[in-house]
Structure 1
Amino acid sequence: MGFLDRFRKPEKAESQKPAGAGEAGYRQPILEIARLISDGDQEVMGEAAECVSDPKRYFEVHIDRYEERGIEDSDDLELIQWLGLVDILESRGWVCERDWKDELGDFLHFMGKLTGMAANRLSLEREWFDEDGDIQQWCRILDGKWSAREICTAALDLESDCYVLFPCKKSDLEELRHLAGSIHRRIDLAARM
């Protein structure tokens, strides 16, 4: 041990890393996010459990989904789990992934088909929206229209030019923000993305 080594901070052991660090720290937040967004949908929960239990195997089984996103290997297990969650929720109708330059008709079509729309008895009326608007503007309008129902439009951030949208109970949004933040990801109001 040299003189300068005395001043070096000791490296943190795996057990001392903050929550959310590493593959194991992703398991519980991912499952809780899945539960809150899907209202505990058993099919979602089962597939999400498979994804976080063995992300490498999940990647191999669903490699076509990942390749569509430009992910060719399973080196980043945290990203594999995050994208796996999005794909699971989308395949079961709980979220829709929309391009930033979506047209109003497509936005209304895909939002209207979400399971959470029917579960919360939410409506979409084309006349509420300006055809020349964008997703953030349209989501602000929905937030206003659904405010009395305590529902907002939220999104999972993929750090890309798309929106992963879902109707969200306002009472769940803060917990979703916290859970996503604990694994260095982001969920927020869609209008803030």
Structure 2
Amino acid sequence: MKTKISFYTIGLILIGLGVVLTIKADLGAGAWDALNVGLSITIGFTVGSWVIIVGIILIFVNALIQHAKPKFLALMTLFLIGFSVDFWMIFVLRNIEFNTLGPQILALVGGILLIAFGVSLYLQSTFPANPIDQLMLSLHERFHMNLMVAKTITELFALLLAFLLSGPIGVGTIIITFLIGPIIQLFNGPVSKRFEALSKK
């Protein structure tokens, strides 16, 4: 159980750091992160707050799609990611700026790797998934969509809203959209083996 909690907590903390680095890189954040930044700029509240608010809305959307009860246990995942994003953005990296292309690229790549590694860690725990990930699964199960098609639909939806709200969309957004899945898959094998080995101790 300790291994599950450790992988889950560390994974979500790393996801928060990765998200902040991709935003700070200023080359275009992931679609959902760009949406949260756009909401923060347009309406107010912190980016982490919008991670939680949008996630809560998606909990009900997922329930509606699946004709099931809302999965409120996912709130635990939401709050940890939201607090992690705000922690890194407000208290740790607040005064850090990447003003030239080299550091911007390094921040973007580092952020993508941290998000992918964090996702591979937290998914080992079998605790409730992020409602964004659950939305893809809900569309897949309800309408028998291919997972890639379902993922593309959810990303395009977030991208459209982010565009309307002047969120940070750029080349980085495209890179994240197409590379994050394969990189998660790359990390998942070694992380799963490590998780299994530690769980047996």
**TM-score (norm. length: structure 1):** 0.30
Q: Which one has more relative contact order, counting CA pairs under 8 Å at least 6 apart? A: 2
Q: Which structure has more helix as a fraction of its residues? A: 2
Q: Which of the two has higher C-alpha Rg?
A: 1
Q: Which structure has more strand as a fraction of its residues? A: 1
